[in-house]
Amino acid sequence: MDLLGWVIFIVALLFSVMLHETGHFVTAKKFGMKVTRYFVGFGPTIWSTGRGETEYGIKALPLGGFVKIVGMTSMDEVNPADEPRSFRRHPAWQRIVVLCAGSFMHFLLAFVLIFGLALGIGISSDNTTQLGTVSSCVAPSVTALNNGTCAPSDKPSPAKLAGLRPGDQVIAFDGKPVSNWTQLGNAIRRTPPGSHVTITVRQDGKTVTRQATLAAVPGRSGAYLGIAPTIVFTPANPVRAAEYAGTAFGQVIGGSVKAVAALPAALPQLFSKNRANTAGGQVSSVVGAAEATGAAVAANVGWQYKVSFVLLLIASLNIFVGVFNMLPLLPLDGGHVAVIVWERIRAWFARLRGRPDPGLVDMAKLLPVSFSIFMILMFFGVLLILADIVNPVNIAG
């Protein structure tokens, strides 16, 4: 099952790459640009076929893909007969649309996945008193608590010591009836750590009362019992599904920005023994994402949770890639958009001065910058992959 998760993730990743390149391909064709190649992967060609003026194919290394559009920059040599159809000879707005189309396809795929999840499987809700998980330990920090990590030296959680089990339905907390997770959670947080409480549950068809002494997690307000509710999925109508997809979209974008901003601080912690409890445990590579997919597929949970987790992970990855790709840095698409915008600003100033349009930016002068940024991105990418291979974040309940 773990291997199946990897296969699902790799197929989804390749499909996302194909959609990205399809965005460039379709818009370039629409505007009459000459597209000579559409390939998935890099390296030696495994298979290719020619249709019209375009060669389609698959290469050996499934690490991306590319679309070859004639005359992308001022450096490209173009047959004079093809020059009118070159990328660089088209209006700026058309070139920007072509460059942004790749990220747009990532965003579209993510929205469709989240919308379909809400419509078909349902929107998850945890406002129930039925226990879904019972923590094994009292986490030593808020970060460890959020990651669900336990160390051998951590004390057992009050819930585990009390004999609570997944599937138990909590009826009352410390003698007061509770009917939803909001009530139960508030009751636990209002109780001082160290308090001795009673928990009444329906367990194996019987009503039983358990005793627990509440604990505290450093850095977290309120008492800690060590329980989490069962996740319930409720299918949504199209309007609610669209609202849910829009909200999730915004949340992932915000999280993506935070992840990028946290990367410099996370790098020193990537190979630390305590990575899961540091900023290094909050960032991951495609290897880490694939491992998470495999773990979710192999987990002993319901199929709804598995499908929901995988779809949301793939959607989140697409949103992150779409946002990252539009950063104004060469050689990313956003960097090329920035170059075109600068060309038009420069042309506008030239008109104000009564001078001719200076034309295309000399990309040869930007090659050192583009190469430097590319190497930095490669360094970060390789470092994250190595960290996820030799020092993965192990999640334990």
202 has pLDDT over 90? yes
Q: Map out the domains of the chain as residue ranges.
A: 1-34+70-122+235-397, 131-230
pLDDT at res. 287? 83
Question: Is residue 291 annotated as part of the catalytic site, yes or no?
Answer: no
The average pLDDT across 188-193 equals 92
pLDDT of 334-375, one tens digit each?
999 999 999 999 999 999 999 999 999 999 899 999 999 989
What does pTM read for this prediction? 0.78
Q: Pick from 372, 362, 355: which is nearest to 339 by CA?
A: 362
pLDDT at res. 70? 96
CATH topology of domain 131-230: Pdz3 Domain (2.30.42)
Concatenated DSSP letters of 212-268:
EE-B--TT--S-B--EEEPPEEE---HHHHHHHHHHHHHHHHHHHHHHHHHHHHHGG
- Going by pLDDT thresholds of 50, 70 and 90, the confidence category of residue 393 is low
pLDDT at res. 336? 95
pLDDT of 303-343, one tens digit each?
888 888 889 999 999 999 999 899 999 999 999 999 999 99
pLDDT of 276-297, one tens digit each?
666 666 678 888 888 888 877 7
302 has pLDDT over 60? yes
* Mean pLDDT computed over every residue of the chain: 88
256 has pLDDT over 60? yes
List own/partner pairs for 36-41 with CB under 8 A and 24 or more apart: 36/68, 36/69, 36/70, 37/66, 37/67, 37/68, 38/67, 38/68, 39/65, 39/66, 39/67, 40/14, 40/65, 41/65
The average pLDDT across 262-288 equals 75
pLDDT at res. 293? 82
Q: Are 284 and 262 within 8 A, CB to CB?
A: no
**How large a percentage of the chain has pLDDT more than 70?**
95
Q: Pick from 53, 4, 6, 58: which is nearest to 29 by CA?
A: 53
Instruction: Choose, from 21, 53, 77, 343, the residue flagged as catalytic.
Output: 21
pLDDT of 61-114, one tens digit each?
877 889 999 999 889 999 999 999 999 999 999 999 999 999 999 999 999 999
